Amino acid sequence: MIRRTATSKRQPKTSSRRRGIHLTEEETADAKQAFLAAFEVTGVILDGCKAANVDRETVRNWTQADDEFRRQYDEALAEANELLEKELMRRAYKGVIKEKHFYYEGEHCGTQKIREYSDTLAMFIAKKRMPEYRDKIDMNHAGKDGGPLVIEFVQFAAGGGGGESDGGEDAADHPAV
């Protein structure tokens, strides 16, 4: 019986090779190319791992140890991102054809093809490309009437029950800074 703790994570198996079996240099080169080819199309690391018959840890090691592979990985990711953006734009501008089914008294009486557009995707594209559509966030802090921000430090006497003080100074003895 295998016992798992609440913090253990089970990673999906992406390689049919047993752990500890190392690839030859030629196999590694082929696996890297297979990974990059699949990753470039989908942008999903798991898809690349399955195509190359390696696990995520292997790819992580390649990106850390091999500068040329890291450069190719970054290029493949950029290509995948461009494909994604192209698909988002197609769905926003050209729409997606969907079938709408019509029923009368529980009986199917017709089907119509409808082109649906995505206003949400169009808005995200506009926010990316046009600054005037981006969310405006103002992180400036100001005090009353736009003046400087005043921070007051208040020290309370120990005990705080309104009884006798422990010999410390009361907050009332010091004006707020």
Q: Is residue 162 part of a domain?
A: no
Q: What is the pLDDT of residue 158?
A: 73
Neighbours of 115 (CB within 10 A): 9
Across the chain, mean pLDDT equals 82
Together in a domain, 44 and 59: yes
Q: Which domain holds residue 76?
A: 25-93
Q: What's the whole-model pTM score?
A: 0.58
Please list, residue by residue across 49-69, b when 16 or more beta carbons sit within 10 angstroms of its beta carbon and e when fewer do: bbbbbbbeebbeebeeeeeeb
Q: pLDDT, tens digit, for every residue of 54-97?
A: 999 999 999 999 999 999 999 999 999 999 999 988 988 899 99
In angstroms, the CA 38 to CA 112 distance is 37
How many degrees, rounded to 5, is the angle at CA 165 between CA 161 and CA 170?
A: 95
In angstroms, the CA 35 to CA 41 distance is 10
Together in a domain, 79 and 122: no
Q: Is residue 10 part of a domain?
A: no
Together in a domain, 62 and 120: no
CB within 8 Å of 113: residues ≥ 6 apart: 97, 98, 99, 100
pLDDT surpassing 50 at residue 30:
yes
Q: Is residue 105 part of a domain?
A: yes
Last residue of a domain, one of 93, 115, 144: 93
pLDDT surpassing 60 at residue 177:
no
pLDDT surpassing 90 at residue 129:
no
